[in-house]
Amino acid sequence: MNIHTYEKLWLVAAMVLIVAFIGTITYGSVGLGIAMVGDDSDSIDPNDVLDDEEFGDPGVQQVGEDEYEVYVRAQTFAFIPGTTEPIEIPEDSEVTFHVTSPDVIHSFSVVGTNVNTMVIPGEVASMTVEFDEPGEYGLVCNEYCGSQHHEMEGLLVVTPEDEFDLTELSVTGDDEVALGDEVELTATVSNGLLEDLETTVSAEIGGEELEEDVTVPGEGETEVTFTVDADDLGEGDHDWTITVDGYEDSGQVTVVENLEDEESADGEDDNDDTEENDE
């Protein structure tokens, strides 16, 4: 059988096209490494999200020199963290986001990057991005999730490396101390970075200034206790402030003449008692 040359050419061209179509579809679904949510990601019972080790208290964790993991809860109608406080990460870092929802379907989109995933209750969506330069990125929810869907947004801040830390400060101490006793405030400084943190904790208690140098181990915490004689402060209210690396906690301590008397008087009538003392 004789096939015309042009017909042969068209047959070959059609074959090449078919192979090319199959090739591009295969490359697009496998070669680019695009994974569907739920494909290789973890699952989690939506009812357990709030009690989960990571998602119960979500935030930024350092896992390598320039590698961070960020756990985010997308819930009606906020990203936690992200909405009330921005997610902060340093420049030149590789960041893996893990996002899940305890309630309905949301999305987690970092505007200006290719992070844009559906967040399905019961599934943990994970994706990795590199941030080279400091900057700010908006976070938005692209899935209709309820009446406040349009207000579900947040902020991601990429900070210069030397401005980044994962330090937290919390202070405990008595509200009321009797004359003759000591005012004692305990500051707990925690360091979420892998490297040790060398810093100074400063305290100002009723005008008295104290400070202590500390080394907080990586992924650890250190307690510092500041004490001042209540006699040195004298009776009355005294403000205190404790600071470390730009973090601050403050409060007030009241020095009273005698703790037991004050407490029993409190039980009866607080206001009358104060007036009597003043006279």
Q: By CB under 6 A, which span of 27-35, 137-145, 166-174, 267-275 interacts with ligand CUA?
A: 137-145
CB of 64 to ligand CUA, least distance (A): 31
CB of 160 to ligand CUA, least distance (A): 31
CA distance 140 to 118: 11
Q: By CB under 6 A, which span of 16-24, 143-151, 213-221, 255-263 interacts with ligand CUA?
A: 143-151
Residues 4-63 that bind ligand CUA (CB under 6 A): none
Q: By CB under 6 A, which span of 18-26, 136-144, 154-162, 258-266 interacts with ligand CUA?
A: 136-144
C-alpha 208 chain-centroid distance: 33
SS (H, E, C) 31-82: HCCCCCCCCCCCECCHHHHHHCCCCCCCCEEEEECCEEEEEEEEECCEEECC
Q: Which of 124, 145, 183, 244 binds ligand CUA (CB under 6 A)?
A: 145
CA distance 235 to 230: 8
Residues 154-213 that bind ligand CUA (CB under 6 A): none
DSSP string, 145-212: -STTGGG-EEEEEEE-GGG---EEEEEEE-SEEETTSEEEEEEEEEE-SSS-EEEEEEEEETTEEEEE
The answer to whether 120 contacts ligand CUA (rule: CB under 6 A) is: no
The answer to whether 141 contacts ligand CUA (rule: CB under 6 A) is: yes
Angle (CA) 269 274 278, round 5°:
150
Query: Taking a C-beta distance cutoff of 8 angstroms, is the pair 258, 178 a contact?
Result: yes
Q: Which of 69, 88, 123, 143 binds ligand CUA (CB under 6 A)?
A: 143
The answer to whether 87 contacts ligand CUA (rule: CB under 6 A) is: no
CA distance 202 to 234: 22
Nearer to ligand CUA, 69 or 143 (CB): 143
Nearer to ligand CUA, 75 or 191 (CB): 75
The answer to whether 72 contacts ligand CUA (rule: CB under 6 A) is: no
Count of residues engaged in binding ligand CUA, rule: CB under 6 A = 8
The answer to whether 149 contacts ligand CUA (rule: CB under 6 A) is: yes
CB of 163 to ligand CUA, least distance (A): 30
For residue 143, give the 3-state DSSP assignment: coil
Query: Residue 195: which residues within 8 A CB-CB, separation 6 or more?
Result: 218
DSSP strand pairing (176-178 vs 247-256): parallel
Nearer to ligand CUA, 143 or 233 (CB): 143
The answer to whether 106 contacts ligand CUA (rule: CB under 6 A) is: yes
For residue 271, give the 3-state DSSP assignment: helix
CA distance 193 to 89: 12
The answer to whether 152 contacts ligand CUA (rule: CB under 6 A) is: yes
Question: Which residues form the interface with ligand CUA (CB under 6 A)?
Answer: 77, 106, 141, 143-145, 149, 152
